[in-house]
A and B are shown apart, each in its own frame.
Chain A
Amino acid sequence: MAVTLNDTLDVKRGDIKHYDFGMPFWDATRQKKLVIQYCKVAKKFQHFPRPVSIFTGRRRDIEWREVSGKGKVYSFTIAHRGPPAFQGKEPYAIASVTLDEGVNVIADVVNCTAEDLKVGMRVKAYWHPLDNGEHLLMWQPDKDAK
């Protein structure tokens, strides 16, 4: 039985309140760029943004780096019951994606059917405009990926 997934693009998400230490991420989304925190000592990325490196505990070890926005699905769930703003939009898919740079990022999946959505599937960034000029990162199938 085919299950049509909702893209949730018409969900009213309102103002997403940010922490100041995560602002470089949100500012970059205005240009549809994905930047992720990188620890120069551990040579690893971390997400969500933190006030310190989770590898060393130090602020000074962190820098922001632009990444490809490509990766593969580590896991996913299909919400059949959403929180209030999402009620009536179910079912929709949420995926935890391992970026090629080696860090997991959770976001909604668009342009994808339930049949196609698989663990290991290649995805790329999809940028959904928000009212304040920022974009919300989402995932879509990367049809060009081998």
Chain B
Amino acid sequence: MSLRDSAIVAYAETKVMKKSDRDVWVLMGEILEQLLDKSGFESKEIDGLVMSGLTGTGGASMFWAQSTCDMLGLEVGFCEQVHTGGCSAVGAVARAAAAIDAGMCEVAVCMFADTHVREHNGRNDRNYRRDWTDPYGVLGPPGAFGLLQRAYDAKYGVDLKALGKLAITQRNHAIMNENACEELRVPITMDDYINSRMIADPIRLLDCVMLADGAAGLIVTSKKRAKEKGLNKCVIPIGYAERTNFLGGDNLVDVTRSGHEIAGKKALAAAGWNIKDVRSFHPYDDFLIALVIQFEAFGFCKPGEGMKFVRDTDLSYNGTLPMNTGGGQISAGQAACSSHNLIEAVRQLMGEAGKRQVKDTTNALVTGIGWINYGRNWGSSAAMALVPNQ
């Protein structure tokens, strides 16, 4: 199988900033430099560039990945921009591995850089919104997740204290993460969560991610090349799957179900794992309720039992199922094309997470959520199973 013949040999990350003090190209330059220094590769050896399309700074440019090659002096045989929204980070690793397997490149940089707070160059999304939700004042993702959480509440019941526990757990992790957005590195209490102001009732401020600026990156190469290079500390993607437009051929969709039902099963099967084998979990978090739905969709618990699962499980870095140990996006800031949870999982498996290091680095599961479709759950669901080099 192609995926497990590849290896993530280096990761890099800037601090998450409420607003970047540097240009996005400067951040990319910092990431490239870190990646080259850590891996020992020279820039001439980089022959693949995979960018995330989830960027407000570059998203309106049709030539974003090519411009980046030009800016960074990279000459590549594989130049790609991934457009699966918040699935683009894990999607970039999968596409890099596929390209390596197909012989299109050997050493790929996955680049996740965005300074959408400092410089947003607009978007021109051509979709249902202009006709069917903009006239109603639906505020993008918070509006959609408001509908989703209310439907979950009507079907199963929402326990605010379970959601608050998720918020507090992730916040405690962000406080231990020096790369998390400084403004978010302050403790919160259950009362802070419950009393945070409504944005799209039932979605509160502390249910939501905060947009922020920053960059991250990875180098993916073949296991063979990694070995030749003496890069023994690496992380292997052993299972990956994505699902876009889950139940897209149906007209009445239960919004509490997601494409992770399929992507999760497929990624776990490729890895040869049972869900109980997962040692740390790094789920995409744009809203807290999305975490609950993922626990259910991946099979950590049955549908409708997500709130109970959260109440009964210690999700802190030293708990029984460490979750989003870098703070998640909700407490670290939504930056670097939403690659934060992927980078954190790689860091954990390399044993470099410092005081928030998880004890069991046997494996990690990372997920993605991308785009919002009309009256459904979310547009894309992805899952990637990672293990350290054996």
Contacts and interface: CB of A to CB of B under 8 A. Distances in A.
Contact of B131 (A18, A54, A78, A105): A18
B-side interface mostly: mixed
Contacts of A76: 146-147, 150
Given A48-B128, A48-B131, A79-B200, A103 B252 contact: yes
Given A83-B137, A119-B154, A77 B252 contact: no
Given A48-B131, A48-B374, A79 B137 contact: yes
B136 A75 contact: no
B130 A16 contact: yes
B203 interface: yes
A87 to B, nearest CB: 9
B138 A106 contact: yes
Given A17-B131, A22-B131, A75-B147, A82 B202 contact: no
B136 A81 contact: no
A91 B198 CA distance: 10
A5 to B, nearest CB: 11
Contact of B251 (A54, A106, A120): A54
A80 B252 contact: no
A52 B202 CA distance: 35
Contact of A104 (B146, B200, B201, B375): B375
A116 to B, nearest CB: 15
B199 A80 contact: yes
B132 A77 contact: no
Nearest to A56: B249
Contact of A78 (B201, B250, B375): B201
Contact of A96 (B135, B147, B199): B147
B248 interface: yes
Contact of A106 (B130, B133, B250): B133
A128 B250 CA distance: 29
Contact of A79 (B132, B143, B154, B197): B143
Interface in B141-161: 142-143, 146-148, 150-151, 154
A51 B241 CA distance: 29
Contacts of B202: 77
B205 to A, nearest CB: 9
Interface in A32-85: 44-48, 54-55, 74-83, 85
B37 interface: no
B69 interface: no
B137 A80 contact: no
Contacts, number: 111
A145 B202 CA distance: 27
Contacts of A98: 252
A54 B375 CA distance: 15
Interface in A5-25: 8, 11, 13, 16-19, 22
A136 interface: yes
Interface string A85-119: 11001011010101000111111100000000001
A105 B132 CA distance: 9
Contacts of B133: 106
A46 B250 CA distance: 8
B270 interface: no
Interface string B61-75: 000000000000000
Most chain A beta-carbon neighbours within 10 Å: one of B130, B248, B255, B375 = B375
Contacts of A103: 251-252
B15 to A, nearest CB: 28
A136 B131 CA distance: 10
A133 to B, nearest CB: 15
Contacts of B147: 75-77, 94, 96, 106
B200 A86 contact: no
Interface in B240-265: 248-253, 255
A49 to B, nearest CB: 8
B132 A91 contact: no
Given A54-B249, A89-B137, 16 more contacts: A11-B137, A46-B251, A47-B251, A55-B251, A74-B151, A77-B146, A79-B201, A83-B139, A86-B137, A94-B143, A94-B146, A102-B252, A106-B138, A106-B375, A119-B151, A120-B154
8 contacts: A17-B130, A44-B251, A55-B250, A74-B151, A75-B154, A92-B137, A94-B147, A96-B375
Interface of B: 128, 130-140, 142-143, 146-148, 150-151, 154, 197-203, 248-253, 255, 374-375
